[in-house]
Amino acid sequence: MIKIESLQSIKDRFEEITRLMADPAVATDIAQVTKLGREHGELRDVVSSIKQYEEALSSVEDLRVMVKEEEDEEIVEMAREELEELEEEIPRLEEDLRLKLIPKDPEDSKNAIVEIRAGTGGDEAALFAGDLFRLYSRYAENHKWSVDVMEVSEGTQGGYKEIIFELKGANAFGMMKYESGVHRVQRVPATESSGRIHTSAATVAVLPEADEVDVAISNNDLKIDVYRSSGPGGQSVNTTDSAVRITHIPTGLVVTCQDEKSQHKNKDKAMRVLRSRLYEIEIAKRNEERSEARRSMVGSGDRSGKIRTYNWPQDRVTDHRLQGDQKNYPLQKIVNGDLDDVINALRTFDNAERLANL
C-alpha cells in the first residue's frame, strides 16, 4: 500500500502552487509563472488519482464496518457485494497511482534538438547518417511533429557528415531521448564494388530545447562572427554575410548556422542550439546522481556507448540495452520510422527502475 503521508505532501504542494499562481506578486515573474505552471499541470492528474484512491480506501473501511455491525441482512449483502468489487478495484487504482508517482523528467515535454554525426566508416558512415535522419523524419511524421533543419554538412557521396535539426511536438524529447548514443550499421555499402560487408557508425545526441528561462546567457560571454555561406546549402545565399558563428567564451562551445538566407534567422537557430547544449551540461551534472545501471539504460547523452546495430544481411535491428525477445526488431519496420515498439520497451524498463525506488 502506498504511504498516505507521501500522498498528503503531494496534495499540499498542489494547493501551495495553486495559491502561488493566484498571487499578484508572482504573476509578474514570467520565469516563476512558467515553472509553477509546468509543475501544476504535472500534479493535477496525480492529485485526481490520489483522491480517487483515498476515496476507495475510505469506502472500503466504511463497508467493512457496515458488514460487521449492520443488522439488516439485505443491507449487509449489498455492502458485501460492493466491498468485493472495491477490493478488486483498489490494486488497479494503486498501480495506476504508482505509475503516476514516478518522478518525471521536467525536460520530457520539451521539443528535441537532434544532432547526427557520421562516425567511423567514411562515406558509408555519412550515408548511414542520412538514413538515420530519414528514419527520424518518418517517426516525426507518424507523431505529427514538425522537423526544422538547423545546420547541415553534406557527405561527398551523399548523406551527411553532420546534420542538426529540431523536432517540435508533444513529448518529443521524452520519446527521442532514448536515441542518444552510437548507432552501428552492418551492410554492403553502395560505394563497395566487391560485395564485402562493412561496419560503420554514426553518433546521435538528443538535447531538450532550452527556454530562455532555463539557461541565462550573458551577451558578454558571446563572440559572434558573420560570414558568407558556402557549400550546397549556401550557394543561393553566398552574396551576403548571412552565416553566423557563435562562440560561448566560458565553455568554448562553438555553434554555426548558415541554413537560412537571413542572418537574423541563422543567429536565432544557432542560439537555440547553444542554449540546449549548455542545458545538456546542467542536466548531465544532475544525472550524476542517478545509478550507473539506469544511466546506461536510458541514455544519459554519453555518445561513446553503442546502443543499436542495424544489420542489413540478417534484416534485423538489435537494441543492445534490452534483453530477450525485446532486443530484436524487423529492419525495414525500424528504418521506415516505426520506432514505437523499441521506444516503449525502453520506457517500460525505465519506469520499472523508477518504481523500484519509490
* Distance separating the N- and C-terminal Cα atoms of the chain: 12
What is the mean predicted confidence (pLDDT) over 101-107?
76
User: Which of the residue ranges 96-105, 193-202, 263-272 has the most confident prediction, judged by mean pLDDT?
Assistant: 263-272
Structure confidence by residue, pLDDT tens digits, 11-25: 999 999 999 999 998
Nearest to 272 by CA among 238, 244, 236: 244
Domains and CATH numbers, the chain: 4-100 (1.20.58), 112-213+291-356 (3.30.70.1660), 219-286 (3.30.160.20)
259-307 pLDDT tens trace: 888 889 999 999 989 999 998 888 777 666 544 433 443 333 333 468 9
Q: Which carries the bigger pLDDT value, residue 287 or residue 153?
A: 153
Cα–Cα–Cα angle for 103, 107, 113, nearest 5°? 150
Alpha-carbon gap, residue 132 to 185, rounded angstroms: 10
Q: Does the pTM of the predicted model rise above 0.75?
A: no
Q: Residues 39-71: pLDDT tens digits?
A: 888 788 889 999 999 999 999 999 999 999 888
Does residue 241 contact residue 222 with C-beta atoms inside 8 Å?
no
pLDDT-derived band at 135, boundaries 50, 70, 90 = very high
pLDDT band at 34 (very low <50, low <70, confident <90, very high): confident
Residue 327 has pLDDT above 50, yes or no: yes
If residue 81 lies in a helix (H) or strand (E), which one and from where to where? helix 73-100
Number of other residues whose CB lies within 10 A of the CB of residue 270: 24
CA-based Rg of the chain, rounded to a whole angstrom? Answer: 26
Report whether pLDDT(353) > 90: no
The chain-wide mean pLDDT, for the chain, equals 85
Interatomic CA distance for residues 197 and 188, integer angstroms: 4
pLDDT at 168: 95
* C-alpha cell belonging to residue 212: 530562455
